[in-house]
Amino acid sequence: MFKFLETFMVVYKTRSFSLAAQQLFITQPTVSNQIKQLESQLHTELFERRSRREIMPTKSADILYHRAAKILDSWHDVNTEIMNAEADETQHIRFGISQTVSRILFSKIAKQLKSDFPELSYDVEVSNSEGVLNQLEGYKIDVGIIEKPLVTENINRKSIGKDQLVKAGINTGTWITREPGSGVGYYTDQYFREADIQPKKIIHVNNSGLIRRIVSQGVGQALLSDQDIPENVPAEKLGTNFIRDFYLVNRDENKDDAILQRVEEIIKVAESQN
């Protein structure tokens, strides 16, 4: 039931089974099946299928959406209490981070965590920025670090560092970019609008490391962090509109958690060392 609710919340927000599948890293038939099973259990229709790609939530879905977060919140509390009891109160944090953060920042954070909190255990889930936010809302992670400026209800967002984007690669008319929902994808679309660029070809890749390797082979251009430029690849620094923030995001109910406040300080130290 709880997995179905998590899937439902993403479908409700995206208004799309396919986008929900991308963000949850599962197949579209799996998303459709989970929604059907949830509808069967509730004896109601949650989404009106207007076309193959267009769906609209019903009144029942509106009611469920506002209740689902509280249900998942309670379930998360139960899991946390059980985990703490079994772990003899050992602190555990579930991180969700964007791919850029995973490439240029999190290893430094991990080193600092080891130094400052040797008894702390943690897991790390890598996704795009919207995926991290959805995982946070669905209580799959405790804290996220992203670079896309997302805002949503009951989620705290605080800037904890800066990152300069550059245009890297050879101008072949081809651009390599991330998938919708990612920070790099967001800023690449912004760059196309501001520079009035209409690429001859766009290649979408859902892995930042692979984009970097494709650019290094002379296939085309991409926006990359200035801390992640491949060797011997030409790069052009962009304007201040493309200095992006790293954001720490967490739910309202744990905003005063002492360990999270210390994690925020650690992230700032790690980011300053870049």
Q: Does one domain contain both 95 and 137?
A: yes
- Looking up residue 172, the CATH number of its domain turns out to be 3.40.190.10
- 127 and 257 both lie in a single domain: yes
Of 122, 133, 132, the residue nearest 263 (C-alpha): 122
The answer to whether 101 touches 246, Cβ cutoff 8 Å, is: yes
3-state secondary structure of 262: helix
Beta strands in the chain (DSSP E): 47-49, 55-57, 92-98, 121-127, 143-146, 155-169, 174-177, 201-204, 221-225, 235-237, 243-251
Q: Which tokens is 77 given?
A: 């509390």
Distances (CA, A) of 3 to 26, 37, 44, 118, 243: 12, 11, 18, 32, 37
pTM beyond cutoff 0.85: no
Q: Are residues 15 and 33 in the same domain?
A: yes
Query: Is residue 213 in some structural domain?
Result: yes
Asked if 68 and 102 sit in the same domain, the reply is no
Same domain assignment for residues 123 and 87: yes
Domain boundary among 13, 43, 72: 72
In a domain, 266, yes or no: yes
Same domain, 267 and 152: yes
Residue 114 within a domain: yes
Question: Are 200 and 257 part of one and the same domain?
Answer: no
Name the E strands within 30-154.
47-49, 55-57, 92-98, 121-127, 143-146
Reduced to 3 states (helix: H, G, I; strand: E, B; else coil), residue 207 is coil
Has residue 78 been placed in a domain?
no
Whole-angstrom distance, CA of residue 219 vs CA of residue 186: 21
Q: Are residues 51 and 62 in the same domain?
A: yes
Where among 24, 45, 72 does a domain terminate? 72
Whether 88 is in a domain gets the answer yes
Question: Are 269 and 208 a contacting pair, CB within 8 Å?
Answer: no
Residue 125 and residue 92 in one domain: yes
Quote the pLDDT of residue 271.
63
Q: Which domain holds residue 131?
A: 83-156+246-272
Residues 144 and 187 in one domain: no
Residue 14 inside a domain? The answer is yes
Residue 77 lies in a domain: no
Report the domain count for the chain. 3
- The pLDDT score that the predictor gives to residue 256 is 52
- Tell me: do 144 and 252 sit in the same domain: yes
Could you give the CA distance from residue 79 to residue 42 in angstroms, rounded to a whole number?
24
Please indicate, yes or no, if residue 129 is contained in any of the structural domains.
yes
pLDDT for residue 134: 86
- What average pLDDT values come out for the chain (274 residues) when binned by 10 residues? 82 87 86 90 88 82 82 68 57 88 88 83 90 86 88 83 93 94 91 94 93 96 94 93 90 65 72 61
Q: Residue 221: what pLDDT? A: 97
**With the C-alpha atoms ordered 84, 80, 147, 222, is the resulting torsion angle positive or negative?**
positive
Residues 12 and 57 in one domain: yes
| Calpha distance 243→163 (Å, rounded) | 6
